Amino acid sequence: MDFDAVYKEMFKPVYAYVLLRAQDENLAQDLASKTWQKVFDRQDSYDPRKGNLRQWLFTIARNEVNSYFRLYYVRKVLSLSAFEEDFKNTDDNPETTAEQKDLEEKLKLAMGKLKSNYRDILALKFYSGMSNEEIAQMLNISASNAGTIINRAVNKLRILLEAEHVA
């Protein structure tokens, strides 16, 4: 495996996934750094027969985030702040930029209200670009079950966003 090439290609999707799960930019940077350190240290252990590279990377990232939160809940030391993702808007129109920021804020709030397993599966689907089959293999569930959970999570997110719109 060419680590440099993999890092250049996959850094943004891995970081986006970790950020979505961590809901804190500083924490996400730490967890992503630990993830990439593990990828580098274990690059010789990657076996394409057990799954594709994307699955392997996101399994490491997912385990790193899960490990952090297991310790977090045990220690109850840190508090999570609101999820801050830096989506750059290339449109210079102030009205469009304000609308985009408002939409992003509503999405962050709604994502924060979802159950952690829904946040996790949505992050795997939409931020990592994984297929339902890849997600299913990663989570040890059937592809149809993965699709069902994704559908439920999207519907729940839609309900939360609509409630936010009405409020």
Instruction: Supply the pLDDT for residue 6.
Output: 94
- Concatenating the DSSP letter of every residue in the chain gives --HHHHHHHHHHHHHHHHHHHH-SHHHHHHHHHHHHHHHHHTGGG--GGGS-HHHHHHHHHHHHHHHHHHHHHHH-----------PPP----HHHHHHHHHHHHHHHHHHHHS-HHHHHHHIIIIIS---HHHHHHHHTS-HHHHHHHHHHHHHHHHHHHHHHHH-
Instruction: Supply the pLDDT for residue 111.
Output: 82
Residues 38 and 110 both lie in one domain = no
Residues 7 and 79 both lie in one domain = yes
Residues 3 and 79 both lie in one domain = yes
Instruction: Supply the pLDDT for residue 14.
Output: 95
Query: Residue 142 belongs to what domain range?
Result: 92-167
Residues 96 and 164 both lie in one domain = yes
Instruction: Supply the pLDDT for residue 72.
Output: 62
pTM of the predicted protein model: 0.54
Residues 49 and 101 both lie in one domain = no
Q: Which parts of the chain have pLDDT scores under 50?
A: 74-90
Instruction: Supply the pLDDT for residue 86.
Output: 40
